[in-house]
């Protein structure tokens, strides 16, 4: 690696400031996967929460309370469990496709 760019990462604060990337990697995918699983399962309450959910807005705690219940309750194990079920289905589907191709 060239010396000129060796420390380039340190000029991009979202890589290390307040665990910014970690928050996305650990909460956004499971939250969206869990909500989609609930909606696709026909959960009318989840569908309503999805329709009320506002993307792209950083909410303060008081704003969240004013908006009502969150789209997905990340304080419970359910989002991760739903995400893992979904990922297991994807892996099983992919393995079945590979078996059909003889790999």
Domain ranges of the chain: 8-100
Is 34 exposed, middle or buried, given 0-12, 13-18 or 19+ CB atoms closer than 10 A? Answer: buried
* Residues recorded for the chain: 103
- Which pLDDT score is estimated for 65? 45
Higher pLDDT, 9 or 101: 101
Task: Give one DSSP letter per residue of 12-23, joined into a string.
Answer: -GGGTGGGHHHH
Interhelix angle 20-40/44-52, rounded to 10 degrees, is 140
- Which pLDDT score is estimated for 22? 66
Q: What is the pLDDT of residues 1-24, one digit of tens each?
A: 788 888 887 887 776 777 667 666
Who's near 82: CB < 8 A, 6+ residues apart?
30, 33, 34, 37, 38
Q: What is the pLDDT of residues 39-96, one digit of tens each?
A: 999 999 888 877 776 554 555 444 544 455 567 787 888 888 888 998 999 999 999 9
């Amino acid at each position: 690696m060239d010396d000129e760019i060796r420390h380039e990462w340190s000029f991009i604060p979202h890589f290390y400031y307040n665990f910014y990337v970690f928050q996305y990697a650990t909460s956004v995918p499971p939250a969206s996967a869990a909500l989609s699983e609930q909606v696709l399962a026909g959960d009318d309450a989840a569908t309503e929460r999805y329709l009320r959910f506002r993307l792209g807005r950083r909410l303060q705690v008081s704003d969240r309370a004013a908006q009502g219940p969150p789209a997905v309750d990340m304080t419970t194990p359910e989002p991760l469990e739903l995400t893992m079920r979904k990922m297991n289905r994807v892996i099983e589907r992919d393995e079945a496709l590979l078996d059909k191709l003889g790999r």
